[in-house]
Amino acid sequence: MGAAPDYEALVREFCQAWADADHDKVVASFTDDGVYHNIPVDPLVGHDAIRAMVDGFTNGMGLKVVEFRIDVMLSSGSTVVTERVDIFAKADGGRVELPVLGIFEFEGEKIARWREYFDMNQFTAQIA
């Protein structure tokens, strides 16, 4: 049996894929039945649903991920917890900075579940 994946490195690569606008890599980072749950809204299940959200978020809202700045990262087994500030560029040249707590649960080298906790009001106030 081989060594366990470096889950923290996988999370860093995933966050970088967002900043690189590599949406294929973002989606491919999930298991086929992976779950992405922004806790204020309903969970998304599977590649098609996750892809629709990624496309809608980046194209429909006019936001581009600049950086998912990881301030704290902790892991236990195949679970990684990040305290981050997600930084987005707005189409009008402004910025959105959103503190987020993310929990990633892996199966092998793929994300099986990703939960994000943040203040939706803080987000919507900045994109208005």
pLDDT (average), residues 29-38 = 97
Torsion of CA 115, 120, 125, 128, to 10 degrees: 70
C-alpha angle with apex 46: 42 to 47, nearest 5 degrees? 120
Q: What is the dihedral sign for C-alpha 7, 109, 26, 122?
A: negative
pLDDT at 1 over 70: no
Instruction: Report the chain's mean pLDDT, rounded to a whole number.
Output: 93
**Which residue has tokens 């987000």?**
123
Nearest in space to 24 (alpha carbons), one of 14, 39, 10: 14
Q: Say which residue, 112 or 93, is predicted with more confidence.
A: 112
Instruction: Read off the pTM.
Output: 0.93
* pLDDT tens per residue across span 47-106: 999 999 988 877 777 788 999 999 999 999 999 999 999 999 998 899 999 999 999 999
DSSP assignment letter at 93: S
**Domain 7-127 belongs to what topology?**
Nuclear Transport Factor 2; Chain: A, (3.10.450)
